[in-house]
Amino acid sequence: MFSTLLGPLPAPPGADATSAGDSADPVAVVLAALDEIGLELVTTGAPSASPDLAAADIVEGWREAAALSARPVKQVLMGPYTAGRDHGPSGPAAIAESLRSTIDALADAGCPFIEIDEPEALAIAVVEGERRRFIDAHRRLVDGLSGIHVSLAVSRGNLDAAGPATFFDLPYASYAFDLIAGPDNWRLAVAAPGDRGIVCGAIDPREGGDETPELLVWAAHYAASSSGRSLDRVGLANAPSLAPLPWDAALRKLRRVADATRIASIPSPHEMASKLDPRAVSSRRAATGAPLRPAASERD
């Protein structure tokens, strides 16, 4: 089990200038903060890389970031559908062809994890033609890939009406679902084959949103219990994006994610329950070692 960041972060304070008047590297500031928080899989907090960027530039940026962190650094790429949906019928497919070379270059450079970010894909849930364009583009992007973990991230609403096959017939190793803006995406998460990873974007990105660990821990165990997946194939994250928040508020939410990941990973159900609000956890389920869920669901 692991914790990670989905979407961009606000610009960190101190990234413009130090007290000595020298420019500070914002990437270094972000990675140092994420290392200190304890996220297991980190990124620079920048928006997803545009397909307009040269593959060599993306690779160089990833190399520089990876050298600044003791933790694995993922590269986030803007997905072909989001980037190409307004560029005619063949736009997403053409962008996918270009992005494929970027993925290959990142794999050759040793990048361990690539995230394909599709925040503007809601049309595929209601328009069959858009769904076909999405599927065609992603097949061109990832069919035949090997030796690198490529993940698909979808956000900003419910995509369950697109159907599980839209996503799981594609050979992605894992999927990140926004479960705050799109709570019905749980239908997709639990339908995923057990050999695929699920990243649960399950902490509210709004400044006043719920930050309690109980929902995150429940989300992790619910995802792990579906299709025999186990916690080894589950990650926790924020629901994107944290960019509108103040820097301190964004980091606080990510610290909650990291803390909840550690709690959810505790092997003993009794010890895990002791870290949570007893009103939110069924003592009967904790006693049996069954996956956690909110106790209110058992009061019927």
Closest Cα to residue 43, out of 242, 270, 212, 205?
Answer: 242
Same domain, 206 and 300: no
Q: Are 53 and 18 in contact (CB under 8 A)?
A: no
Global confidence as pTM: 0.91
Closest Cα to residue 105, out of 152, 49, 154, 153?
Answer: 49
User: Residue type at 248?
Assistant: D
Same domain, 32 and 67: yes
Same domain, 226 and 298: no
The DSSP secondary-structure symbol of 266 reads -
* Both structure tokens of 190: 């639990």
Q: Are 118 and 79 in contact (CB under 8 A)?
A: yes
**Residues of the domain holding 277:** 271-300
The domain tally of the chain equals 2
Each residue's pLDDT, cut to its tens digit, for the chain (300 residues) gives: 999 999 999 999 876 554 444 557 999 999 999 999 999 999 999 999 999 999 999 999 999 999 999 999 999 999 999 999 999 999 999 999 999 999 999 999 999 999 999 999 999 999 999 999 999 999 999 999 988 999 999 999 999 999 999 999 999 999 999 999 999 999 999 999 999 999 999 999 999 999 999 999 999 999 999 999 999 999 999 999 999 999 999 999 999 999 999 999 999 999 999 999 887 665 444 433 444 454 333 333
Same domain, 186 and 246: yes
Same domain, 112 and 214: yes
Same domain, 220 and 276: no
Same domain, 165 and 255: yes
Q: Which spans in the chain are helix H?
A: 26-37, 55-66, 80-84, 91-109, 128-142, 164-168, 186-191, 213-225, 247-264, 269-274, 283-288
Same domain, 292 and 235: no
Same domain, 17 and 72: yes
CATH of the domain at 217: 3.20.20.210
Same domain, 94 and 153: yes
